[in-house]
Amino acid sequence: MLMSNLSIIVRGGQVYCTRKLSEYGLNAGEQYILMYLMGHEESNQDSIAKFFMLDKGAVARTLAKLESKGFIVRKVNDDNQREKVIKLTEKSFEMRDVLNGLLAEWNELMFDGISDEEISSFENIVEKIAANISQKL
């Protein structure tokens, strides 16, 4: 049941965020990448794919959508001509409060009725599980 419950949580978050972001022309996958880039400026496609454990092609498609919507620009890395550096545009920075607010809303909804101690324990356990998976895959 654990995998089923985790799937419900993840899928629920995606549906919730995509619905809330539709007025901005974004979906949950694009939101995740934008939030990653807000914390990791001037990243590349490989670092995003590795962080989320996603296929490089899926990341490339999402980046292309974000670029066409004006949220990012991709520029050739001066030090490595085969690599493109991804930079956020002003439009992305204007979305920071919306994205952070949406994350806070989702956390409030998800953790309703759960104590701060329980939330902290849950987050610690999930962090350890994610570290195990990252190290072993």
Could you read off the pLDDT of 92-101 as tens digits, one per residue?
Answer: 999 999 999 9
pLDDT interval class at 42 (50, 70, 90): confident
Gyration radius of the chain over CA positions: 16
Which pLDDT belongs to residue 87? 94
User: If DSSP states are collapsed to H, E and C, what string results for the chain?
Assistant: CHHHHHHHHHHHHHHHHHHHHHHHCCCHHHHHHHHHHHHCCCEEHHHHHHHHCCCHHHHHHHHHHHHHCCCEEEEEECCEEEEEEEEECHHHHHCHHHHHHHHHHHHHHHCCCCCHHHHHHHHHHHHHHHHHHHHHC
Mean pLDDT across the stretch 35-53? 92
- Write out pLDDT tens, residues 27-38: 999 999 999 999
Mean pLDDT across the stretch 87-116? 96
* Domain covering 29-136 in this structure, CATH number: 1.10.10.10
Domain ranges of the chain: 29-136
